[in-house]
Amino acid sequence: MARISKKERAENIVKILEDLYPETPVPLDHKDPYTLLVAVLLSAQCTDVRVNQVTPALFAKADSPQEMIKLDVDEIRAIIRPCGLSPRKSKAISELSHIILDKHNGEVPQSFEALEELPGVGHKTASVVMSQAFGVPAFPVDTHIHRLAYRWCLSTGKNVVKTETDLKKIFPRELWNKLHLQIIFFGREYCPARGHDASTCPICSLYGRKGIK
């Protein structure tokens, strides 16, 4: 097989993903930027499925910063315990709700800088909120995307920061918001971390890094 450029490989990967996932619904159930922010925060080291099982009970009690600050941290913690890291996450949810009210007029801020200043909100969480709530081009890199970018020879895979930088250089800006979800969906369905058969994977079989399972 003739060697193709990284650009050609990326273009072909986009075509495969677009064919498999023409629609990309946001995996975390939410109704507005605030509930998305809370859901993404809860998803750290937790599956989206589990988060979606927990958030209905939380949002039934408080689906806005105005309502959330009325709950004790222990009450929030009891509800979100199944998501893991509940002491830290409950404290962050309470604190960021106060800050949104005090500093941002009750609205989730629409900048990376302001979001990343909120407790419990790192760059990946901010990127998800900016892309999925506000439509700002971003490329949130989770474990699936980090792993697949390396497998597909699109990044060296040294760390998520490098992976994000590499992917932003390779793919057109207008594709970022949809593409990051397509890669996540693909990773879950076809390209898992364990038990992966590269020979049957729709992308790894064509463009996978040699020797990577």
Query: Which positions are catalytic?
Result: 124, 142
- Through-space distance between the first and last CA atoms of the chain, rounded to whole angstroms: 20
Residue 208 per-residue DSSP state: P
Residue 31 CB neighbour total at 10 angstroms: 9
Residue 52 CB neighbour total at 10 angstroms: 16
Query: Residue 71 corresponds to which tokens in the numbers above?
Result: 């709950």
Secondary structure of residue 72 in the 3-state scheme: coil
Cβ atoms 108, 131 nearer than 8 A: no
| Widest Cα–Cα separation across the chain | 63
Alpha-carbon gap, residue 11 to 27, rounded angstroms:
25
- CB hemisphere CA count around 163 (13 angstroms): 21
Alpha-carbon gap, residue 111 to 119, rounded angstroms:
15
Alpha-carbon gap, residue 107 to 101, rounded angstroms:
7
